[in-house]
Structure 1
Amino acid sequence: MTEPLRTLYNALVVPMARLALPIGRRASEKIERGVEAREDLMARWQAAAAEIAGRAPRVWVHASSAGETLQARPIVEAVRDAKPDAGIVYSFFSPSAERYVRDWEAPDAVDYLPFDVRSRVRRLLDLLRPDALVLVGAELWPNLVWEATDRGVRVGQACCRFGKAPGRLRWPMRSVTTDLYGRLAAVGVVAEEDRSVALELGVDGAAVAVTGDTRADVTLARVEAARTDPPPWRPPAGRGPVIVAGSTWPADEAALLPALARLREDHPELLAVVAPHEPSGPALERLERLAEKQGLWTVRLSALESGPGGRGRGAPSIVIVDRVGVLYRLYELADAALVGGGFGGSVHNTMEPAAWGVPVAVGPDHGAPHEVEAMRGSGGVAVVQSSRALAEVWGRWLASGTAGRDAGRAARETLEGLAGATGRTLEFLRNRSVPV
């Protein structure tokens, strides 16, 4: 079955994607950055291959974007600790991962994965000659898996979450997905429901195990390390309670801003910190206009970081986070949080506020990730259907300090119960003869 699928993929899907790329470059700064960053990519990988020549084992870890890179980091670092002489390379696909790999010392080389064109994939495999390939997250690039397994590379997957009714389980992608999973030596999944999907795809029962999500490990460690350093900014004395809304999209903000306006009726000193998922100029300006319509005065974080905290014409109602990389520290300030994406199909990282012991609200279209369902069951996460419901949930948490603290403690304890995935993942991969 593999050969017809390969022929179809390389004769139809890959050329169509290449034709669409110029359009994507004009429409998206992220796509443009991804294309530009791949200039001279193979020359960079050739230099990386020279760095690991003669090392053993040679381990290649790949993840797609920022979230998956957070999952991959503890795996790579644990492999380095266990095998200091190994040659380790790390690849990623999306520009969003760049800030998480900058100055990362555990791998010998870090760079973009080439686009999934057969000739480029073959060239990279010729250069790196990996003994193991570990794919972190749910992303499988067909040519990469086909070509690696053809060469006898032991390919494993870690932190795999299928989600609900993913498109790759439907025709025509199901045939490709089934073929690819049949080639993997090990499939480490996040939860039992993911294991059921893997078995449905025909993965041998011995080749799939529930190993968990390594984000729990890295998030808890990150927060503990940050406790000794001050956050990038603190509210002025006397302001509060504090709401932090992180990784928001327009659909989230449409529910968020009226909820904040309603909540301020009972909490006049309420301060909100809002971090758009993509803080581009147009996104920030749009958020400022919407807030003004609700009678909420905004100020950007960059204007406060070097100042006293902004009294001026009366302290701001909302601090808008206009740069990336600081959100997880700002959750430290929160009495309650909203994590964005839940009003648009897939919630973002609820583990970060939970690690700080902050109770979390998410929208109804959160995608049911395992950690959200677990924290929802313990009372640490509340699913809200509307702006009014969001204000009511926050109101309950803020009206009684005990209620908010109890919910935050439940979120933290649930997250601690999910920890240990890094060790479980590596043990499973090794038991399946993936040399990590």
Structure 2
Amino acid sequence: MTQSKPPFSLRAYRSAASLAKPLAKLALSRRLKAGKEDPARIGERKGEPGQARPSGPLVWLHGASVGESLSVLPLIERLSAEMPRTNFLVTTGTVTSAALMEERLPPRAIHQYVPVDQPHFVRSFLDHWRPDAALFVESELWPSLIGETRRRGVPMALVNGRLSPKSFESWQPRAEAARSLLDAFDIVLGQDTENARRLATLSGRQVPMLGNLKQAAEALPADEAALDALRAAIGERPVWVAASTHAGEEEAILDAHQQLNGRLPDLLTVIAPRHPGRGTQVQALCAERNLPAIRRGTGALPGPEHAVYVADTLGELGLFYRTCSVAFIGGSLVKTGGHNPLEPARLSCAIITGPHLFNFQDTYAAMRSAGGSALVRNDRDLSASLLRLMTDPVTREEMARHAREWADDAAAAVLDDVIHALRPVLEQAG
């Protein structure tokens, strides 16, 4: 897409960023000391390559963190099969996402950390990798990264586009800058109706809504030995998982557990915080309520004396969804916007969620219509839903079946539609 001259605010940002190279290095050093960067690969954040560029066409896919990067895995699998001469570069910005990508990327796909949005770093990155096409996933609108890529004539698409209500409001006073950034993309695809509407408003162009790529993800993996050990430790106890929880939610989850003590005295509550580093914080909340808890991060398994198992490890949600037949999905009792319900749906969990679901609004609406999920607003609602599902296996299994069937039906359709829409960009990469 032909772009006009960037607005003053973007030109000012790029000028300031060019002069702030020392500050960018200082910020990286501080993040490194805080454990937020990988010391062995810190150079990649400065645009220094960690590997040689493979020969032939290269498609670059960028997603900020775990959710975005996992959502592109099925896309890469399909593109790899359809484009046998093409290699794929996947960039992310977090240590957690990097670890997952190293484990799960298919052949002919390389992971690198994305450079900090500083022009010198971005240019160094692009000089080395020379992508033939670029697919940005969800909501990463970094001016230097987008501007430098477009200036090199790289065909670009924004895939699974997402713009939260808060981000949309913050861009409103800078609508000209937002439009200029979005103009860099040849194709913009929204992940649901509301996100497509917000992106269309800011970009001044039509934004198709083809569904959420996360619908196409494979079922989360689980280590068989770990699964057998956990099932043996749980035994016949009723168990449920509160997954991807945030600060402010665990209190309601623990209150709901306590409200069930009289009816389900052997209940085991598994809490998997969205950020595993919060495991000790969650365990402290349990101690405040005199609920015996043990952390998986210590290598321990739950015993009969434990009321709560804190699942503070990385990449094991597939293990807990296979162990628990009921899953509450976090980020929804607080205004985070909810997390992916398709992962537990594929593993036959009955799904409970809070009311704040703007990240997956269409997905949850369709799943509720299909009878695959229940909505709760507080700890009392949560305890009531849990009691019903834990004591009524027919209702629980019916809800899980509806969720699984809906997820499976949606998966194939969204991947076909997205790849078809991306053809004009992908064809330029050979």
Structure 1 residues 101 and 237: alpha-carbon distance in aligned structure 2, compared to 1, 3 A threshold: closer
Matched, 1:73 2:63: no
The equivalent residue for 1:349 is: 340
The equivalent residue for 2:61 is: 61
Deviation, 1:48, is 2.4
**Equivalent pairs, count:** 420
Q: CA offsets, 1:288-340, max 9 Å, x none?
A: 232233332222336676x7x634xxx32122223211112211121312122
The equivalent residue for 2:14 is: 10
Structure 1 residues 236 and 93: alpha-carbon distance in aligned structure 2, compared to 1, 3 A threshold: closer
Matched ranges for 1:319-334 at <5 A: 319-334=309-324
For the 8 Å contact 1:89–1:109, the answer to whether it is kept is: yes
For the 8 Å contact 2:321–2:344, the answer to whether it is kept is: yes
Matched, 1:428 2:421: yes
Which amino acid in 1 is paired with 2:10? Answer: R
Matched, 1:339 2:332: no
Structure 1 residues 169 and 179: alpha-carbon distance in aligned structure 2, compared to 1, 3 A threshold: farther
In 2: Cα distance, 1:276 partner to 1:40 partner: 28
Which amino acid in 1 is paired with 2:330? Answer: G
The equivalent residue for 2:308 is: 318
Which amino acid in 2 is paired with 1:90? Answer: V
The equivalent residue for 1:209 is: 208
TM-score by length of 2: 0.87
For the 8 Å contact 2:161–2:195, the answer to whether it is kept is: yes
Name the SS of the counterpart of 2:135 in structure 1.
strand
In 1: Cα distance, 2:311 partner to 2:113 partner: 28
Matched, 1:299 2:294: yes
The equivalent residue for 2:249 is: 252
For the 8 Å contact 1:261–1:295, the answer to whether it is kept is: no
The equivalent residue for 1:200 is: 201
The equivalent residue for 1:419 is: 411
The equivalent residue for 2:357 is: 366
| Bigger Cα displacement from structure 2, 366-375 vs 249-258 | 366-375
For the 8 Å contact 2:376–2:382, the answer to whether it is kept is: yes
Where structure 2 has 5 or more consecutive residues not aligned to the other structure, the ranges are none
Name the SS of the counterpart of 2:417 in structure 1.
helix
Which of 366, 373, 396 lines up with 1:381 in the alignment?
373
Structure 1 residues 22 and 390: alpha-carbon distance in aligned structure 2, compared to 1, 3 A threshold: farther
Q: CA offsets, 1:99-125, max 9 Å, x none?
A: 211143434432111111112222222
Structure 1 residues 222 and 229: alpha-carbon distance in aligned structure 2, compared to 1, 3 A threshold: farther
In 1: Cα distance, 2:118 partner to 2:100 partner: 26
In 2: Cα distance, 1:44 partner to 1:16 partner: 18
For the 8 Å contact 1:245–1:273, the answer to whether it is kept is: yes
In 2: Cα distance, 1:17 partner to 1:125 partner: 17
Matched ranges for 1:116-131 at <5 A: 116-131=117-132
Matched ranges for 1:62-141 at <5 A: 62-103=62-103, 104-141=105-142
Deviation, 1:257, is 0.4
Name the SS of the counterpart of 1:256 in structure 2.
helix
Structure 1 residues 35 and 139: alpha-carbon distance in aligned structure 2, compared to 1, 3 A threshold: farther
Deviation, 1:75, is 1.7
Q: CA offsets, 1:189-243, max 9 Å, x none?
A: 21233332232233543xx32222222221xx235x7698772621546532211
Which amino acid in 2 is paired with 1:179? Answer: S
Structure 1 residues 317 and 162: alpha-carbon distance in aligned structure 2, compared to 1, 3 A threshold: same
The equivalent residue for 2:270 is: 273
In 1: Cα distance, 2:358 partner to 2:19 partner: 31
In 2: Cα distance, 1:268 partner to 1:257 partner: 14
In 2: Cα distance, 1:113 partner to 1:83 partner: 24
Matched ranges for 1:238-249 at <5 A: 238-249=235-246
In 2: Cα distance, 1:145 partner to 1:289 partner: 43
Which of 45, 52, 55 lines up with 1:48 in the alignment?
52
In 2: Cα distance, 1:390 partner to 1:284 partner: 22
Which amino acid in 2 is paired with 1:101? Answer: M
CA RMSD of aligned residues (A): 3.0
Name the SS of the counterpart of 1:157 in structure 2.
strand
For the 8 Å contact 1:158–1:187, the answer to whether it is kept is: yes
Matched ranges for 1:28-39 at <5 A: 32-33=36-37, 37-39=41-43
The equivalent residue for 2:281 is: 286
In 2: Cα distance, 1:87 partner to 1:335 partner: 39
For the 8 Å contact 2:96–2:314, the answer to whether it is kept is: no
Deviation, 1:64, is 0.7
For the 8 Å contact 1:190–1:210, the answer to whether it is kept is: yes
In 2: Cα distance, 1:173 partner to 1:36 partner: 38
In 2: Cα distance, 1:96 partner to 1:404 partner: 33
